C-alpha cells in the first residue's frame, strides 16, 4: 500500500478497532521530549513508541547510535501494543523522520498495512479536532512477525557496494565533512553519493509531490537494490519511504549507518 496518508484521506476511513495510531515524537536534543508531549496531549487512542526505548536496541561498541531492536524485542513491543495482522497502523510525529523510522520497522516485521501521517500531529488534529491525555490500553496480542531481512544491508555489503549504489541521506555539510556536530569523524563512506532526506519533505512535514520526487531520485530509480544510510539509521528511512511512494521497494537500509561505520577504526572515510 502507499506509505503515507493525508488528513483528508483519514476523513474517509470509518472508525473501527482495526485503525491504530502510533505517536513517536522525539527530539535528538532532549530524550524526554516525546514522552512529555505525549502526556500533554496526543491523538485519541494513540500509543507511544520511544525512539531509544522501543524503536532502537541497546547501545554497544558497534551498531551505531540507534541500533535496530532485536527481532525478539521488536516482536515483544508489537505484542505489547496489541497489534493484529489486520490493523491499519497510522504513525505520526511532529515532523517526519521518526515516523519514517517506525514505518520501516513495521515493514521489516512484515506488516503491510502501515502508513505515515503526512503533516504529523498537526495534520491529525485537523482530522480529529482534538487531542487527549487518556492513555489507551490494548490487550496483549500474539502477533507473529514475518521479518523481511532483505530490507537490510550488512556492513560487508556496504563495503562491497559499487559506486552509484550507496547513498548518504545526511545534509551536504555533514556529507562533505565541513560540519560534523555529532560523530567523532567527519566525512562519508567511500563510494557514497549524497541524497539528502530533507529534499524529500516539505516544511509542513509532507512528502514532496510525485514529479519532484521523481526528479530527486532520477539517478536512484534505475539502480538495483540501492543502499541508504544516514548518521544512525533514522533519517535514511525518509528516503526509503519516499522511494516506496514511487513504487521502488528494493531499497535497503544500512541500520548502523555512518556512526556504525566509524566504530571500526580500519574503515576509511572520505571528505
Question: Strands 47-48 and 19-23, how do they pair?
Answer: parallel
Return the half-sphere exposure (C-beta side, CA atoms, 13 A cut-off) of residue 66.
28
CA 149 to chain centre: 16
Which grid coordinates belong to 210?
A: 510525485
With b for 16 or more beta-carbon neighbours within 10 A and e for fewer, the 137-172 pattern comes to eeeeeebebeeeeebebebeebeebeeebbbbbbbe
3-class SS of residue 177: coil
Return the half-sphere exposure (C-beta side, CA atoms, 13 A cut-off) of residue 169.
30
Please indicate whether residue 230 is annotated as part of the active site: yes
Q: How far apart are the first and last CA of the chain?
A: 39
Q: Which of 24, 128, 195, 230 is catalytic?
A: 230
> How long a stretch of residues is the chain?
271
**Angstrom distance (rounded) from CA 162 to CA 158:** 9
The answer to whether residues 89 and 5 touch, using CB atoms and an 8 Å cutoff, is no
| Residues with Cβ within 8 Å of residue 89, at least 6 apart in sequence | 20, 22, 83, 106, 111, 113, 114, 115
* Gyration radius (Cα) of the chain, Å: 18
List active site positions.
230
Amino acid at each position: 500500500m502507499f506509505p503515507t496518508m493525508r488528513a483528508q484521506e483519514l476523513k474517509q476511513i470509518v472508525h473501527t478497532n482495526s485503525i491504530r495510531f502510533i505517536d513517536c515524537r522525539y527530539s535528538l536534543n532532549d530524550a524526554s521530549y516525546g514522552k512529555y508531549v505525549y502526556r500533554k496531549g496526543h491523538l485519541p487512542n494513540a500509543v507511544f513508541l520511544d525512539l531509544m526505548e522501543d524503536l532502537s536496541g541497546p547501545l554497544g561498541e558497534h551498531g551505531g547510535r540507534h541500533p535496530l531492536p532485536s527481532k525478539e524485542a521488536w516482536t515483544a513491543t508489537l505484542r505489547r501494543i496489541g497489534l493484529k495482522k489486520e490493523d491499519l497502523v497510522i504513525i505520526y510525529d511532529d515532523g517526519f523522520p521518526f515516523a519514517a523510522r517506525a514505518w520501516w520497522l513495521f515493514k521489516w516485521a512484515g506488516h503491510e498495512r502501515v502508513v505515515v501521517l503526512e503533516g504529523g500531529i498537526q495534520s491529525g488534529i485537523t482530522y480529529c479536532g482534538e487531542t487527549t491525555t487518556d492513555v489507551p490500553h490494548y490487550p496483549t496480542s500474539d502477533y507473529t512477525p514475518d521479518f523481511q531481512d532483505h530490507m537490510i544491508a550488512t556492513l560487508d555489503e556496504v563495503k562491497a557496494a559499487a559506486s552509484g549504489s550507496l547513498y548518504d541521506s545526511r545534509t551536504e555539510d555533514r556529507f562533505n565533512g565541513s560540519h560534523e556536530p555529532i560523530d567523532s569523524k567527519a566525512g562519508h563512506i567511500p563510494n557514497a553519493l549524497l541524497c539528502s532526506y530533507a529534499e524529500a519533505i516539505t516544511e509542513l512535514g509532507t512528502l514532496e509531490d510525485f514529479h519532484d520526487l521523481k526528479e530527486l531520485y532520477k539517478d536512484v530509480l534505475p539502480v538495483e537494490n540501492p543502499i541508504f544510510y544516514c548518521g544512525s539509521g533514522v533519517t535514511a528511512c525518509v528516503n526509503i519511504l519516499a522511494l516506496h511512494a514511487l513504487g521502488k521497494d528494493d531499497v535497503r537500509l544500512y541500520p548502523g549507518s555512518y556512526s556504525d561505520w566509524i566504530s571500526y577504526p580500519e574503515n576509511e572515510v572520505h571528505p
